Structures are given as C-alpha cells and as structure tokens.
Amino acid sequence: MIQETLTQEKTWQGTAVSSGVAHAVVHVLKEDFDEPDADPISADEVEAELARWHLAMDATHREIEELKEMVSTEQRSAEADIFDTHLLILEDMSIRKQVEKTVRERLICVDAVYYRLMCKHMNALRGLADSYLRERFLDIKDITQRVMRHLRGELLQHPMFEDPVIIVAHDLTPSDTVQLDRSKVLGFAIETGSGNSHAAIIARSLGLPAVVRMHGITEELHSGDPVLLDGDEGLVILNPTPATLTKYRSREQQAEKREDALHETRHQPSVTTDGLAVLVSANAEFVEEMGDIRDSGAANVGLFRTEFLYLEDPEGTEDWLADNYTRAVKVISPGMVTFRTLDIGGDKVDEQLAAEQEPNPFLGWRGIRVSLGKKDMFKRQLRALLRAAAHGPIGIMFPMICDVGEVRAAKELLAECANELSAEGYPPPQQVEIGAMIEIPSAALTADLIATEVDFFSLGTNDLVQYTMAVDRLNERVADLYSPTHPAVLRLIAMTVEAARRAGIRVCICGEMAANVEVLPLLIGLGLDELSVSTGQISRVKHAIRKLNASECRSIIDACRHLGCPKEILGMSSAMANELYPDLFE
C-alpha cells in the first residue's frame, strides 16, 4: 500500500532481506532492457543527439527489412506482414516529431525521451480487451527493444554508473550481478523473491540493504528518481522529506556505533564461554572481496562461489581462471580458500545451457552433474585450481553430491589433472583438501559412506532446506514454508555431523542459516566445527559465539528432539539468543 504526504513523499512496503539504509537515485533494470537515465544535454548537443537516434532508427529499419526479406523468400507471408506493421510503427511521423520536439525543448538525452514515449504507447495497449490491439503492444515492445539496443551498443548491456545508485528490478539473477558495476551499487529493491533468493544472498554478501516483494515498483519508479531504501523495515521511500532523512540519519548513527563496537572485536577468537572454538569464515563471490575478507576477522574463505567468474566469462581460459584463483589464494594465505566447483544449473544458467530447457531445472542437470557431463570444462577448472594451490592452501568441494560415486568420479578427474600438471612442470600444490557439499537429503542420509572419500563436509543449507521441504526458495508463493528449523532439516544436519565425527573429518555450514544469529544456538548445539557467512556478518556471528555456552546449546538440541513444530524450535533458540546477545537484535 502506498502512503502519500503533501510533499509527494511515497512509501512502498516490501520484505526486508538485508539490513541497512541507502539514499541515492534509482537505476531501473527492466525485465527486457534497462530504462535509460534522463541525462541532461546542452543546446549545442541536440543535433548530435538526434543524429545518433536517426542512425539507430535507420539500423533498425535495415534489420527489419532483412528479416522481412528472409521470411518472404520462405513463403511465410503472414510473418512478412508482421514486419510490415513493424516498419509502419518505426516510421510513424507523430512519434518522430514528438521525440525531436521533446529533446529540443527539455534538453534530455534521446534514449530516455524515446523510451518513455514508447512506454506510454505500450501501457495504453497493454490491458485492452481487443486481441488485435493487444498484439500491437507486442509489436511496439519489439520495435522499442531493437531501437534501444542500437542506441546503446553492446557495451551498454552491462550497465556502468558514474554515481552511486539503488538498483530496482523485477528480479536479479547471478548473471545480472556479474554485469553490474558493483562499486557504485548501494542497494537493491526487487519485485519478486524472498529472503533466500539470490538477490537477497548477494546483497547480504556485499553488505548492502535489500528489499524484495516490491510488486509493481519497476513501473512506479524511473531511473534518476531519488529514493531512500530501508533494508531493516523493508521500505522504499520516494522523494524523502528533510524530516524523514533526519530520522534515518539518527537511526544510522546509532547503528554505526553498534557496528563500530563489533568491528573492534572482529579479530578476537570465536570461543564459547565453556571453551569450544568454532571457526567463522567468509563466503565470497568475487576476487575483489578478498581484501575486505582478510580485514573482517574471518578465519578462512569457507565458500568461494566459482560460478560467478564463469558467468563473467564462460569461455575463460585456464590461465585466466588460474590467475583469478591465485589472486584470491595469495590474499588469504596462510588461511585457506575453499572453492566450490561450478554450481551451474537451476537458477544459475548460462546462455548455452539455457538453450536446452528442462521441465524442472532445480531437479535436473546442475552442480556436479554438469561438471561430470562436461569434462573438458571441468578439467579446465580443476587444473586452474591446482595451479592456484601452489601459492597457498585451498579446499575444493563438489556441489550437489547425491552419492559416493560422484565424489569418486570427480576425484579421479582431479588426480588426472594433477598428473598432467606435474608432467608439464608446474609447481606442486601446497595443500589441497577435498570436500563434498551436503545439500541433498540422499547425501545426508549416506554421509557415512561419503565421509570416507573426503577431508571435510560443507552443509549447503539453502538447498538442503528446499529439497527436504519440497519448497522452491525462489518462489514467493511458498517461501513462507521454507523453514531451516524444521525437525527433518535439523535431523539431517545432526546425521551429517555424526558421520563426520566418526570419520574424523571436519564439518562446516556455508548456507544462509549460518549467519542467522537467532538459530546460532542450534548450530552450536549440533556440533558444527565451522560457520561460513557473508563478510558483513563475520563480527556479529563471532560476537554471538563468544556469548554462548556450548553445553547449554546442546541441552536445547536435546529439548527440541521431541518438538514437531519449526516455530517452537525457533522460539527456544531465539529466546536464548535474545537473552545472551540482545544488542544484535536492536
């Protein structure tokens, strides 16, 4: 619901998924193409700006003529007629005159003028009952996309920003994130999603405020609009008044004091009051994060998501990968960087894989299945990782393992790569530990068998919860059923930890559950050796561990064994957390 004041301040309520506050202008990412910023131009630039637009229109005209000619020669007259319609829209003199008039009078770049005019035409047709007129909406949309593509050029498919912005989008995929100039992004407001969507995870990883379930906001806001984003209360405020800004500045100052206090203790060991040491490591997506991670108080990098580098350049060479992996290793050494091999598939699909559609990609070809199916690609990554290991200790863990056979197959390829590199004269790795990700119930149920093949387990609770609960964590209709404290999830974690103990290997948790200080008593009680969280959560999690007593946490686990309701279990854990570190919930 929108609340409006006399000052034209407007507020949208969504779901908060990453804390913090940001104040900046909006950059809207449309589903099909970005809305251009309304950049001002001088009177002297008008003719050059219009000439650039005319070139884009001409290029679009040639493109449509070529398409029309192609289908005409194939005797597809109906499709040729569609392109005739497109040409009529493109040559519409009223549109051309209005664009030129607006650019001359308002001195705004032609990209924004043309885009907004065409959006008005599309919006007028979108909801009409007449099927013929609804089809004209699609025609105008197609023409607009073509012209905008020619106006922007290939480089502008990867938005870069001169000034800080808040991204507003229908959704934000891992590919979108790779393409953004992350140094200028201050936060995200997303129409869809949940607290476990990739937009939320990425925001928390980067320490940025984020709000999801902001339905229809891409139509309400325009690039360049000033907004305040509240990642604590789940609000987006357009045109915030001086009074609103003052209120938020006061709140921000108090939050900064709390963060400063936590920051001062970030390098202190994370040991419970009864002497149990629990490592706290960092999750990472980008090599550029390594410096911040080293300064965050993290013991290691417990999860480096290599698919983000892959999405940046799917054809990246072994040398390019080795260089990037080595940079990460050198910064963290003598600490360990644990690299998750490519977890492509599901909601992280490159264009090549997307061409091969699956009925249910989350239950399809993803994770280790893709790597074992594309052995040349897999070996390129494994060789690059082994080359990086010559510069410091690394972990290599395989995602989406469902049985011990997949681990053995991956290890065979790794051994093959090690032999090749040795024969080619590359220096040997310093230390390589092999791990299996436990994120499918079948892996947890056979953890005792898998444990004999690896040096460590890493619990990927984001997927473990969704596969155990049959809840798509990216589907907002069922997102409320996604429950990390469900007894089935906790039993699978306990089973995994017990199997690791018997085999004498360590067990880490790298899912979002690890950063939730409200459920931290449960994780300590279950006996996790290591928690890997986003960089911005390191000091908070370490502070909470230092307040907990491991024996008391184990007593909560014992008490929860007979509870069947996730909310009851969460309530017991939350009560202990609020009592021992209430400052983290202020």
Active site residues: 198, 510
- 3-state per-residue secondary structure call for 406-435: HHHHHHHHHHHHHHHHHHCCCCCCCCEEEE
Give the helix/strand (H/E) hosting 394. strand 394-398
- Sorted by sequence, the CB contacts under 8 Å of residue 292 that are 6+ apart come out as 535
The span from the CA of 190 to the CA of 18, in Å, is 12
Per the omega criterion (within 30 degrees of 0), is the bond before 334 cis? yes
* Residue type at 215 in one-letter notation: H
Assigned token pair, 329: 């290793």
Residue keyed to tokens 């609770």: 461
The distance of Cα 399 from the centroid of its chain, to the nearest Å, equals 17
DSSP state, residue 470 = T
The tally of CA atoms less than 13 A away on the side-chain side of residue 351 is 5
In order of 385, 413, 425, the CA distances from 428 in angstroms are: 12, 17, 9
| 16 strand-pairing partners | 211
Nearest to 19 by CA among 280, 272, 234, 186: 234
DSSP state, residue 515 = G
Assigned token pair, 565: 């309701």
In sign, the C-alpha dihedral spanning 496, 501, 502, 505 is: positive
* H helical segments located in 508-549: 520-526, 538-547
Helix (H, G, I), strand (E, B) or coil at 168: strand
The span from the CA of 463 to the CA of 399, in Å, is 10
- Sorted by sequence, the CB contacts under 8 Å of residue 585 that are 6+ apart come out as 518, 577, 578
Answer whether 322's CB lies under 8 Å from 290's CB: no
Which region, left, alpha or beta, applies to residue 584 given φ > 0 means left and ψ of -120 to 50 means alpha?
Answer: alpha
Are β-strands 185-190 and 210-212 bridged in parallel, bridged antiparallel, or unpaired?
parallel
In order of 21, 122, 168, 205, 344, the CA distances from 127 in angstroms are: 36, 9, 23, 39, 37
The span from the CA of 133 to the CA of 178, in Å, is 38
